[in-house]
Structure 1
Amino acid sequence: MSGPDSVGEYGWRFFHATGAAPTGPPPRLPEPPPWRRFGGGPAQPQPPDDEEAALRRLGHVDIVPHLDGDSIDAVNAALLLRRPLLVTGAPGVGKSTLAYLLARELGLGRVLEWNIVSRTRLRDGLYEHDAMGRAQSIGAWRAGLTNGTGEGAEAGEEHPRPPYLGDYITLGPLGTALLPHDRPRVLLIDELDKSDIDLPNDLLHVMENGSYEIPELVRDAQDVARVHTSDPDRFADVRHGRVECREFPVVVITSNGEREFPAAFRRRCLPLEMPVPTRKQLLAIVASHLGACPPGADDLVDLFATRVEAGGTHSLDQLLNAVQMTTAGVFRNDQRGRKLMEMLLRDLAKGR
């Protein structure tokens, strides 16, 4: 290491916020600090990609960074230290998009999304046990034994097998992110400030230890259970009811600043205040979604930026909607058209 900017092959800044996918093998993060190393196993297969979801969020590749230099440094520090990012900022400024930028740029596969509401519990993010479905299957299995139909038997079996417990357990987004992968998964915990007051504290143990237990599997007679995951049509083997990561996931936690989190929770996260995109970045975002900046986009970007700078609450979706309408081929810049633009670019803090 020859200086502060030369950690590993890619320097200490692995992430540049362009959303450009790797042209060759994806960058490999350096070894984590000793206190953030985990020993889960065996390694799970690489996660699937979801380019369709990435295109919806990011559009196509551009070379203009979506974040300023200080924000990019904060993200890279979180990557190197294996700590969650607590991203705050106004609604619609692009906080959740950061997870997709990270996943595409670092080649980390499909983003796991955990959308938080007031009723969300820690277990909702870890796993779900369909106890009712299993009870019904056991009843049907016992009935099959009684009437001799053989229902539930697999090919080549003389007698039907009882329903496996793992068939009725599905890992949630957090539970899937903590599976032992050789490269970290990207987990988006969206709008944590909407949660019950206890959820941030409940997350502390899992975030610190990189592991959790599924009590139903701990009590089960089988040593290994094959369970469903949050990835479509993907399964994972859980040994002795315990899951531990190999690489701590890249965790992006978003908050609209509607509440203060406990100090113990904030201590375990790196803070990032998401800045309002610059004019250059706004134009790049428009071009990435529409292929190029259409005529009139500059004026709409300037109007959008002026209203945001004046203290209004506006979303990037509003800007994209307004630009799309002006390129739809039927929009007219008359009184009715201007009224429509006012509706599309209205201040969200003013209700209707």
Structure 2
Amino acid sequence: MSAQEQTVVNGWRVFHATGRAPDAAPQLPEAPPWRRFRGGPPQPAPPDDPAAALRRLGPGDVTPQLGADDIDTVNAALLLRRPLLITGAPGLGKSTLGYVIARELGLGRVLEWNVVSRTALRDGLYVHDAMGRAQAIAAWQAGVRHGTAEAPAAAVDTPATSADPQLPPVLGDFITLGPLGTALLPYDRPRVLLVDELDKSDIDLPNDLLHVLENGSYEIPELVRDAASTARVHTSDPGGHAELADGRVECREFPVVVITSNGEREFPAAFRRRCLPLELRTPTREQLLAMVEGHLGNLPQAAGELVDLFVQRVQAGGTHSLDQLLNAVQMTTAGGFQVDGAGRKLVEMLLRDLAKGR
């Protein structure tokens, strides 16, 4: 096959699992007709967060943990605008994939939605500080009665309120979009949304997500009922704001949704139908060594021995995470620390079987 033919065949693949930041953001394939959205007006490009990416990916090159079939699955999710449902044992780096995609495709800061048993759909979409608004209104009313009305503290940087302190507090100042709600704003390029450990959620949350994932839109009832036709609300990005019309949000580009699960529960068939499945496997010894080098910037002398010990324990059926291995190897860089001898007990503790509960 010629180089030109190879380029044509692989043209639909924009993600190659290198994790390297591009010189120019690659053009994403056009969405299928049934996954095109018309939200607007377009939002400014999101900020980057190199510090968060550094914590997740390390200072070195990202070690490919995905096989060719896995990479094709990620590219299919990008092309079809469908969420990725990533499963696998705890600690394999499932959530890291969202950061690899964001860095490699130049998609800016990753929006993280960490799910717990009490998480509801609204938590991911938006939060309304009703108590704060009630207090601001009470303070404003008291100021009007005494002729000392001042702009509410929550709205000092908002033109709609700071221009005329006699006006009541604006509803949008007390609404903050959650990670899911921010990801669905009308950006020209998709945001990366990491929904971490969805299997820990209440049984209803996956079903509640279906409508939003299918339609790429949602409404904020408080703003729909408000007399104002537009509102300026806070977003999940630091210092971020967005202008909403009629209390409705619709994306322009469906976000890159990375959903992780440790396999603690099964998801409904209707939910799984809307996702592309990807199962992460335990990295090989060579991959583990490369990951250690990528995170630490070098390969300490004792790394090989600790990687072998880690692999043995995983193969014996224990539950272990990559974070445990990185912690153990990091300890060997401390001056005077020895894996054998006095430091052995500490290494055993760091690499303990997490399934044993202590």
More deviation, 273-282/314-323: 273-282
Contact 1:20–1:61 at 8 Å: present in 2 too? no
How far apart, CA to CA, are the structure 2 residues paired with 1:299 and 1:231? 42
1:229-275 deviation digits (Å, cap 9, x = unpaired):
00000100011100000000000101110101000000000001111
> Which residue is 2:11 aligned to?
11
| Cα deviation, residue 40, structure 1 | 0.3
| Cα deviation, residue 334, structure 1 | 3.7
Counterpart of 1:20 in structure 2: which amino acid? R
1:140-180 deviation digits (Å, cap 9, x = unpaired):
111111111132296664x6111000000000000000000
More deviation, 329-338/172-181: 329-338
Contact 2:292–2:326 at 8 Å: present in 1 too? yes
| Cα deviation, residue 289, structure 1 | 1.2
Secondary structure of 1:221's match? coil
1:163-214 deviation digits (Å, cap 9, x = unpaired):
0000000000000000000000000001111111100000000000000000
Pick one of 157, 179, 196 that aligns with 1:173.
179
| Cα deviation, residue 28, structure 1 | 1.4
1:42-87 deviation digits (Å, cap 9, x = unpaired):
0001111110010001002426413222211111111111100011
Q: 1:199 to 1:246 in 2, by over 3 A?
A: same
| Cα deviation, residue 18, structure 1 | 2.1
Counterpart of 2:44 in structure 1: which amino acid? P
Q: 1:198 to 1:333 in 2, by over 3 A?
A: closer
2:114 counterpart of 1:112: no
1:147-226 matches, cutoff 5 A? 147-152=146-151, 157=164, 160-226=166-232
Secondary structure of 2:244's match? strand
2:283 counterpart of 1:277: yes
> Which residue is 2:318 aligned to?
312
Q: 1:207 to 1:293 in 2, by over 3 A?
A: same
How far apart, CA to CA, are the structure 2 residues paired with 1:113 and 1:268? 20
Contact 1:92–1:314 at 8 Å: present in 2 too? yes
Contact 2:142–2:149 at 8 Å: present in 1 too? no
| Cα deviation, residue 110, structure 1 | 0.6
Counterpart of 1:224 in structure 2: which amino acid? T
| Cα deviation, residue 286, structure 1 | 0.7
Counterpart of 1:265 in structure 2: which amino acid? F
Secondary structure of 1:6's match? helix
More deviation, 189-198/289-298: 289-298
1:91-130 matches, cutoff 5 A? 91-130=90-129
How far apart, CA to CA, are the structure 2 residues paired with 1:117 and 1:63? 29
| Cα deviation, residue 306, structure 1 | 2.2
Aligned-residue identity in percent: 75
2:61 counterpart of 1:59: no
Q: 1:140 to 1:332 in 2, by over 3 A?
A: same
> Which residue is 1:251 aligned to?
257
Q: 1:155 to 1:318 in 2, by over 3 A?
A: closer
**Alignment: residue pair count:** 347
Counterpart of 2:172 in structure 1: which amino acid? G
How far apart, CA to CA, are the structure 2 residues paired with 1:25 and 1:143? 55
Contact 1:178–1:244 at 8 Å: present in 2 too? yes
Counterpart of 1:314 in structure 2: which amino acid? H
> Which residue is 1:80 aligned to?
79
| Cα deviation, residue 4, structure 1 | 8.6
Contact 1:5–1:12 at 8 Å: present in 2 too? no
Secondary structure of 2:93's match? coil
How far apart, CA to CA, are the structure 2 residues paired with 1:296 and 1:277? 19
How far apart, CA to CA, are the structure 2 residues paired with 1:40 and 1:111? 21
> Which residue is 1:337 aligned to?
343
